[in-house]
Amino acid sequence: MTGAMAPMKPLSALDLCDRCGAQAYVRVVLPGGGELLFCAHHGRQHGEALARIAAEIQDETDRLSPGKTAEAPSR
């Protein structure tokens, strides 16, 4: 049975990497319905293997880019 997956909620500081415990920025949904969470480092390290087995990957690593942060008010 195939169909559209429900939208995933954004990852927060409460979501931790299953490998090292750092803040997770990558969620991997497995075909059986389970999920794995990874920090940016471990998401990149295991990315190719995860892409082969994942039903869906939610990658929020772009939130780490310096251009994505709020600018400080000018003085």
Residue (of 48, 42, 46) closest to 24 by Cα position: 42
pLDDT of residue 7: 74
Indicate the domain borders of the chain. Answer: 12-59
Exposed/middle/buried for 9, CB within 10 Å: 0-12, 13-18, 19+? exposed
pLDDT of residue 2: 46
Evaluate whether 74 touches 54 at the Cβ level (below 8 Å): no
pLDDT of residue 1: 39
pLDDT in 10s for each residue of the chain, 75 residues:
344 556 789 999 999 999 999 999 999 999 999 999 999 999 999 999 999 999 999 999 999 987 655 554 555
Q: How many CB atoms lie within 10 A of CB 7?
A: 7
* pTM (whole model) above 0.85: no
